[in-house]
Structure 1
Amino acid sequence: MARWTGEWLSGPRPAGAEEPPGWRGERLGLPEQGVGSVAGGGARLVGLLVDLVVASLLTSLFIRPDLQNTAAMQSYNLWSVAVWAIVTVIPVSFFGFTAGMAVTGIRVARLDGAQMVGVPRAIVRAALTFVIIPAAIRNADGRSWLDRVTGTVVIRMR
């Protein structure tokens, strides 16, 4: 049985252990490059940042940010998080990507081949992304903890 750190903290491989993959997503049957290959961390981060900016701008349509008023900014930030959750969960559930993901050319795909990610998986992905650490740590296949928990992978669309 592998150590709990075996996916992200390398050490000497025991005899009979499987070979590391040649590229990210090889064990999943994904191509090395191009459409359908595992998306890189940079594209995922830029997509998240675009989504956060979109959520902030949408929130600004309804609540005026006031940098001098702490209570107003706390309210603004809470509403921004709620808007971010909505603009993340709904599009990922039905289309597999958010506005930020579309900008960077990536999408979420289920490993079982189903077309839609689904609401429960999208909610878990958003909740774990909010915590940040599960989204930041990836294994040799380029899948974060939130991908592994939900049975998904983020792939390139172009």
Structure 2
Amino acid sequence: MDKRQAIGSWLSGPRAAMEEAGADFGHPGEQLGLPQQGPGSIARPGRRLGALAVDWGLCMLIAYGLITDGYGQATGNWALLIFLALSVLTVGTIGSTPGKRLFGLRVIAVDTKTVNPVRALVRSVLLCLAIPALIWDRDGRGLHDRLAGTVEVRI
């Protein structure tokens, strides 16, 4: 094996090295029984980040309008609590936040296809911690989704 080839596979990551060895991972969501494209397929990162930005902006506006001390000092901490409440209430009842609805996304449970409030609470608390959301599996699900048994799909 050429040194450049070994370094290239190391830099590309374990998935690329396994694909070069002939492993077939399929499309994201295949092992969950989800389609490759269209409604019900795994939500792509760009849409998920867009929905998160809309939801965070909405929570910042609510916090600034209702809870600030006049100088905007309390906005960040309260916005996180409002985000948690918004996420638990909306994902636990209708399956999507306002941002997710705007971007055509929905959170579903892997096994039952509906999210109950307990799963929404676990998912939302882990999402607010940020670190679990930054760790993804090969299907593109964050650690917060894996631990809650949920997946974010297109509608």
* TM-score, length-scaled by structure 1: 0.79
Letter in 2 for 1:134: P
Residues 125 and 146, structure 1, Cα contact 8 Å, conserved in 2: yes
Tell me what 2:131 maps to. 133
**2:26 counterpart of 1:25:** no
The structural deviation recorded for 1:139 is 1.4
Judge conservation of contact 1:108–1:154 (CA < 8 Å) in 2.
yes
Change (3 A) 1:39 1:114: closer
Larger relative helix fraction: 2
The structure-2 alpha-carbon separation of the partners of 1:90 and 1:109, relative to structure 1 and needing over 3 Å to count, comes to same
**Mapped partners of 2:111, 2:128: distance in 1:** 25
- Provide the residue aligned with 1:5 in structure 2: none
Over the matched positions of the two proteins, sequence identity in percent amounts to 35
Structure 1 residues 20 and 136, CA gap change in structure 2 (3 angstroms): farther
Which amino acid in structure 2 is aligned with residue 150 of structure 1?
A
Deviation at 1:47, TM superposition (A): 0.8
Report the Cα distance in structure 2 between the residues aligned to 1:47 and 1:152, rounded to whole angstroms.
Answer: 17
> Given residue 96 of structure 2, which amino acid in structure 1 is its aligned partner?
F
Give the aligned partner of residue 108 of structure 2: 109
| Alignment RMSD (CA, Å) | 2.1
For 1:37 and 1:45, how far apart are their aligned partners in 2? Answer: 17
**Aligned positions of 1:1-158 closer than 5 A:** 10=14, 19-64=23-68, 66-67=70-71, 73=73, 75-115=74-114, 117-157=115-155
Structure 1 contact 52–84 (Cα < 8 Å) conserved: yes
Contact 1:21 1:141 in 2 (8 A): no
TM-score (norm 2): 0.81
Q: Which residue of 2 aligns with 1:3?
A: none
Q: Structure 1: which 5+ runs fail to align?
A: 1-8
Name structure 2 gaps, 5 residues minimum.
1-12
RCO comparison, higher one (Cα < 8 Å, 6+): 1
Give the SS at the match of 1:102: helix
CA distance, structure 1, for counterparts of residue 45 and residue 152 of structure 2? 10
Q: Per-residue deviation at 1:79?
A: 1.6
